[in-house]
Amino acid sequence: MCTTRISTESNLGPFLRLCRQGAGATIRSAMLLLIAALLAASPLPVSAATSDPVLEWIGVMNDTVLTAGTAPNVTSRVVALVSASVFDAVNGIDPRFRPIHVRPNAPHNASQRAAAIQAAYAILFNLYPSGALTARRDASLAALASTEKAESIAAGVAWGQTVADAIWALRLTDGFAPPPPPFLGAPNVGVWRPTPQGLPDQLPGNPGATPQIATMTPWVLTRPSQFRLPPPLALDSPEYAADLNELKSMGVYSGSGRSDDQSELALFWALNTPLAWNRIAAQLSAKRGLTLTENAHLFALLNLTLSDSLIACWDSKYRYVFWRPITAIRAGLTPSDAEWVPWLDFFKSGTPAHPEYPSAHSSMSGAAAFILAAAFGENIDFSLTSEVRPGTTRSFHNFSDATAEIADARVFGGIHFRTSCVRANALGRAVADYVSRHAMRARGDERDDDRD
């Protein structure tokens, strides 16, 4: 009897319909018919797909999310869903690590590459259903035909779908949906409230973004508050005064003390943070020549860490509900400046619509840098192109330089206080250290699983 749940019929098309007709030989025939149809109908040549579907589908994920315009906070959940499914699908065929959720139980002849393709595709299709995505999946599977048997590919597809269904079902109850009522903060001193959108119109601000992430179920952490930060700086402290003064002069739209490069880096880093670190990881993986299994493990570790670091960040954001610089300067305790505009009002979205403390960008970047430094070493060359500054690439010799520049970018952009970025980076690193010690450990690793 076929028990695999398919969330969308178009995901497996003829396989699903035939599978429902019976069991045993019928299932096997259905799989083979599916693969044969894909091989015959593929619009792309075999060389269109890379030899490593994990890297290929990290690229597909990047393009799909950017095309959809998904916000970075929501993207952190997307990348974790995709990479968790790919990891459990690949690892379930040749188990080398403890699974995230799905116990290894794949057919002995299943193709790891086909499983990775289907697992990634199934999650992305649930989130971003499109014919183009299905065509890309079909081409990726067809590209396997020169090196793998149709039976193996079919078994891998079925297993990848089974794993994706299980991961999807697991996270349907993670607390992301349904969304709560609009969060508006309060018009009190030190408290966040909606901030104006960017230039030229500075339209009224939006409610706080995705407050439900603050109480979402983490992937690996025991609870969102596990690494909750101390409160933000007291408004009458000299440290807060120093942060505010730096921001007034360096984060203002015009007449600032920024160099041209400092202005540019602030714009450059106003990108989708989880996707940026996935692109960096893919670049380093290709340079190092990681295997399929190594890539499945690396990206699952990276993306579960990104998701949990964002949850931990949101826990502190919506616990302290600290005001943004534009509010502090326009209506603060010091001599106010009602005309002050942050540099990131260069973009129409303006200041991000959620509380200031701590910085989400620095939280996720600190977490990602920790994971990638552990995998590739701290001192390694890499570069990044920003989707919000097309044609602009920045290069780095180590991860510390990148995370320091990101902190500068948020201050120079006029949207974060320096302390928020420093503490956020430490928060992300703490989350990454915990995740790396507790998730997807190698089989045979008998360390005590201390969960707190």
Tens-digit pLDDT profile for residues 241-273: 999 999 999 999 999 999 999 999 999 999 999
What distance in Å separates the CA atoms of residue 35 and residue 137, rounded to the nearest whole number?
A: 12
Is the pLDDT score of 24 beyond 50?
Answer: no
Residue 115: band (very low, low, confident or very high) from pLDDT cuts 50, 70, 90: very high
Residue 317: band (very low, low, confident or very high) from pLDDT cuts 50, 70, 90: very high
Residue 292: band (very low, low, confident or very high) from pLDDT cuts 50, 70, 90: very high
- Comparing 17 with 399, which gets the higher pLDDT? 399
In sequence order, the 6+-apart residues with CB closer than 8 A to the CB of 289 are: none
Residue 47: per-residue pLDDT: 34
- Return phi, psi of residue 191, to 5°: -105, 140
User: Can you name the residues that pair with 208 across neighbouring β-strands?
Assistant: 183
Residue 324: band (very low, low, confident or very high) from pLDDT cuts 50, 70, 90: very high
Residue 201: per-residue pLDDT: 86
Is the pLDDT score of 435 beyond 80?
Answer: yes
- Comparing 158 with 336, which gets the higher pLDDT? 158
* Nearest one of 34, 129, 75 to 278, comparing CA atoms: 75
Please give the helix or strand (H or E) that residue 394 lies within, else none. strand 393-396
Query: Mean pLDDT lowest for which of 203-217, 284-298, 416-430, 437-451?
Result: 437-451
Is the pLDDT score of 29 beyond 90?
Answer: no
- Return phi, psi of residue 393, to 5°: -125, 135
Residue 331: per-residue pLDDT: 87
Residue 336: band (very low, low, confident or very high) from pLDDT cuts 50, 70, 90: confident
pLDDT tens, position by position, 340-394: 999 999 999 999 999 999 999 999 999 999 999 999 999 999 999 999 999 999 9
Write down the pTM of the prediction: 0.90
Residue 444: per-residue pLDDT: 83
Please tell me whether residue 384 adopts helix, strand or coil conformation. strand
Maximum mean pLDDT: which of 17-26, 99-108, 198-207: 99-108
From the CB of residue 289, how many other CB atoms can be counted at a distance below 10 Å? 8
What distance in Å separates the CA atoms of residue 113 and residue 125, rounded to the nearest whole number?
A: 18
pLDDT mean across residues, the chain = 90
